[in-house]
Structure 1
Amino acid sequence: MKPDDCYKMNGPTVKFYIRFNTSRLLVLTIFLYGISSTLVAEEIRFPDELTKFRPYTSNPIFEAQGPGHWDVKIRERGWILKEEDFYHLWFTGYDGTRQGIKKLGYAWSCDGIHWTRSPCNPIYQQHWVEDMMVIKQGNTYHMFAEGKNDIAQHLTSTDAVNWTRVGALDVRMSDGKPIAAGPYGTPVVWYEKGTWYLFYERRDAGIWLATSPDMKVWTNINNDQPVMLPGPESYDQKMIAMNQLIKYQGTYYMVFHGTAAVQKPSLWTTNIAASQNMIDWVKYSGNPLTRPEVNQSSGLLIPDGNRFRFYTMHNQVDLNLPVVP
């Protein structure tokens, strides 16, 4: 049909032609959307090297010293950072009571398995420090951790041992107003292309994302909504918190822990999710990576040459070795 022929048709014919072509356009749109969705799904992969591990036979590889020491117990997320062939380990030690001040400890290793404690432990005890992570930028180590009452804070160091507290993180809503009063903890920080990204949880009810150009003021993105919520599967239906972010083969991977609503007391599992943009996350269909009955949380994927090791950090440090050669 030539363009001029449209003007030669009567009214009903014109309406039928428009209706017919609109239907064809709708079908084409749905078809293209289906292709797009399939391509997006294909982009999200969960390779075996990030999901398949076996427990190390001599676990735990690190634990509290026990009664009579400053670290009667250790708790929550510790952090392992590998620099070339040297491993750093930061951990929280305390007297075992809920009210006991949480102090920062440090150990090092040449193989990531056998650890030497710092003779200076606890290396920081001026303020409450727990649930920490460390990122190195230039010559400075930046620690982001929970302080008392689960308020996220920032500390810095040039030698990994002597730390200076910068202060509590200033997190704002997208309109610039401070977030509502209350806990905001388990901070995970990522730096990329001149922007700092902060993931944080509030009462383990969801994970939010904020950004900053300089780590001074953090502003929520995603319309102030969480980028991840508990569920819908049972393993993380009650509570979630993020442990780590890595980027592998062009995809972001989040290690997080969760607990099921039916479990009392709460037993935590460690899990993984993936994203192309740090906002839209797909949880691994094979979650959880750890069994609920062993109550292992605060997981970290640590590169070991061409492979990853999988550590869990809560109560004690356990190691899982890669199944993939």
Structure 2
Amino acid sequence: MKRTLTVIFSLLFFQALLLPSLDRAAHAEEISFPDELTKFKPYPHNPLFEGQGPGHWDVKIRERGWIMKEGDLYHLWFTGYDGTRAGLKKLGYAWSYDGIHWTRPPCNPVYQKHWVEDMMVIKHEGTYHMFAEGKHDIAHHLISNDAVNWKRIGPLDVRLSNGKPIPEGPYGTPVVWYENGQWYLFYERRDAGIWLARSPDMKVWTNLNQDQPVMQPGPGTYDQKMVAMNQLIKYKGTYYMVFHGTAAAQKPSLWTTNLAASKDLLHWVKYPGNPLTKPEANQSSGLLIPEGNEFRFYTMHGKVDLHLPQAAHAD
């Protein structure tokens, strides 16, 4: 009898160890990476957009800008600065009817009271909400009624799962998602991982996943050193994360843009064909923008480049 119980307990222990890996395997089997999200070719007339150079407020542009298509109009928000590391990072705006040729209105920079870079924008109930890095990589929130004139709400209040503030330090590259009455915030800390928090009203954000990152660097070499999330989309029932990463061996760091997928926002599978861009191109901060039944793929950091679906014929 004692031997029988030993065998039973051994089987139960083995099953407990096996079930999580089986769950992960089953989750991975549900994930697909369609060609329309992964197969692109460079637009032959890149770059589409870059800093205007000496004598202008945007000598250079940097970090993640944001492109939003609204009807027939494309919005582009970007960070312009004087080219120095300490220079104030100011918010710029441009528009386009084709997503290729961009016009800077004379009202630029559209916001310069506070440091604004690495931004994203989501429109909810008629209001544009911008989430961006401020000085020292502290994420903050701005709002606008017209996409051009912005009011700062303040830094994001992010808490641990026990309600205490997260440890001091940078928390940047914010990506915000709204679904079923809840707001979700993805953020990175020193590019060492991507965390997820949730809020009912954008006032207090509470960590999920037991305060652990939902994505970490590696095991592939292309993102072995650092990762940061750029964008979240939902396509055919699956969430897709566009993120950038860099390899540990590269000095200076050269960034690639990559893709991962999830069914629940917590468990992520990285695309086996990563990276989507070549390390030597140093193209980060990628965005997938729907265009009819296909997607355009933009990358932006020091310049904005366009990548078209492989089947498309560029003029």
TM above 0.5: yes
| C-alpha separation in 1, matches of 2:51 and 2:101 | 14
How many equivalent residue pairs?
312
Show CA shifts across 1:185-214 (max 9, x none): 000000000000000000000000000000
SS at match of 2:136: helix
| C-alpha separation in 1, matches of 2:8 and 2:255 | 55
- For residues 190-205 of structure 1, what are the structure 2 equivalents within 5 Å? 190-205=177-192
Among 279, 294, 307, the residue aligned to 2:266: 279
Match of 2:237 in 1: 250
| C-alpha separation in 2, matches of 1:100 and 1:63 | 17
**1:324 shift after superposition:** 4.4
SS at match of 1:42: helix
Unaligned runs of 5+ in 2: none
SS at match of 1:76: strand
In our comparison, the structure showing a higher alpha carbon Rg is 1
**Deviation >3 Å, runs of 4+:** 18-39
Identity %: 74
- For residues 1-325 of structure 1, what are the structure 2 equivalents within 5 Å? 39-324=26-311
| C-alpha separation in 2, matches of 1:28 and 1:257 | 36
**1:40 shift after superposition:** 2.5
Q: Is the 8 A contact 2:95 2:102 kept in 1?
A: yes
Q: Is the 8 A contact 1:207 1:228 kept in 2?
A: yes
Show CA shifts across 1:48-68 (max 9, x none): 100000000000011111110
| C-alpha separation in 1, matches of 2:55 and 2:111 | 19
* Equivalent position amino acid for 1:107 in 2: A
CA RMSD of aligned residues (A): 2.2
**1:19 shift after superposition:** 8.9
| C-alpha separation in 2, matches of 1:128 and 1:87 | 24
* Equivalent position amino acid for 1:296 in 2: Q
Unaligned runs of 5+ in 1: 1-10
Q: Is the 8 A contact 1:49 1:324 kept in 2?
A: no
Show CA shifts across 1:88-133 (max 9, x none): 0000000000000000000000110011112100000011100000
Residue 165 and residue 294 in structure 1: after superposition, are their counterparts in 2 closer, same or farther (change >3 A)?
same
